Amino acid sequence: MAWMIDDARIASAAMMPAVREAAERGARLVGMWPLTDPKMLSNDARYGETLQVRVTRVMAAIMSGSDVAMADAEFIYEGADSIPGRPDVLVRALMSANDAYDAMSTYSQNGDIAVVMRGAAACGAEWDDDAVMAMSRAFDAIETIAHDPGLAQPRQAADAESISQRLGLVAVAFDGLLGVLDHSATSDGGPAFSVRGVAPLLPYVNELCERVAIGRVFVDVKDVESMVAARASADSEGGDDAVVRLFADCAGREWDRHRGDILWDPDEAERKAKEDDERRRREELNDRFSSSQGSQSAAES
């Protein structure tokens, strides 16, 4: 399938309410840059590490067809090559997911599609020869748009209008790539494409977000399944608004989380936790006192 990304489709997606709402949330995140506070810089670095664990956990779950615990994903991220009591297929999936994530990590800086294809190979993408060729052409088409000076703006470009355009590009690209996979799977009369083939797209879209200067996006297993189902039921030659809406929802949620993680203050969190504990103790004491007073009044009557 010779899919080409459509400027008109991007513009249409950028006007969708879900995309514009997410862009407002993205503007609040992007508007924090450049970060200068050491605590915020540290929090942002920690967010990036945690995001890799979360994304590779989802990739491994998709690749293995099994639930994957965050603790297991963290263990492999930290360099382990085995997990006591866990099946080898799960461990291999986590290791492959991290290999793919790392392989694609330079795409946001250099736009080299070769690293994307190496990452896809690293996680054992179930793409046949036709799908590989079609996906390579699609990645090239997306990069041509992403490299446009009008989109590759500095991170300080925090206006929601600009972010809606860039989010529109990423969402339409993700939808289009799902369409390419779907078309490649069904062109010979076979079944709809497997969710497993989507795993390499998760680190790729994060790198694409970074390349066009918007926050990274997290897509959970259920989100992937919903988008695959929406894409499979749509016209594979055209775009699907449902996928764009779902992707925008994921982006908005993740951008709120990212901003919250950057602003997180451990001292303030500890103080608030102590205040909450003290308030609960007072409420429990008041409840016990009220209960004892009620029992005493009943006995006297």
Dump pLDDT digits (tens) for 157-216: 689 999 999 999 999 999 999 999 987 755 554 544 578 889 999 999 999 999 999 999
Question: DSSP assignment of 251-267, as one string?
Answer: HHHHHHHHHHHHH--HH
Supply the DSSP string of 117-153, one letter for each residue.
Answer: HHHHHHTT----HHHHHHHHHHHHHHHHHHTSTTTS-
Distance CA 151, CA 163 (A): 9
285: helix, coil or strand?
helix
**Domains by residue range for the chain, with CATH:** 7-271 (1.10.3290.10)
Name every residue whose Cβ is closer than 8 Å to that of residue 210 and which is 6 or more positions away in sequence.
108, 216
- CA-based nearest residue to 170, from 13, 8, 2, 3: 13
The pTM score is 0.87
Residue 39's nearest CA partner among 51, 47, 31 is: 47
Q: How confident is the model at residue 293 (pLDDT cuts 50, 70, 90)?
A: low
Average pLDDT, the chain: 89
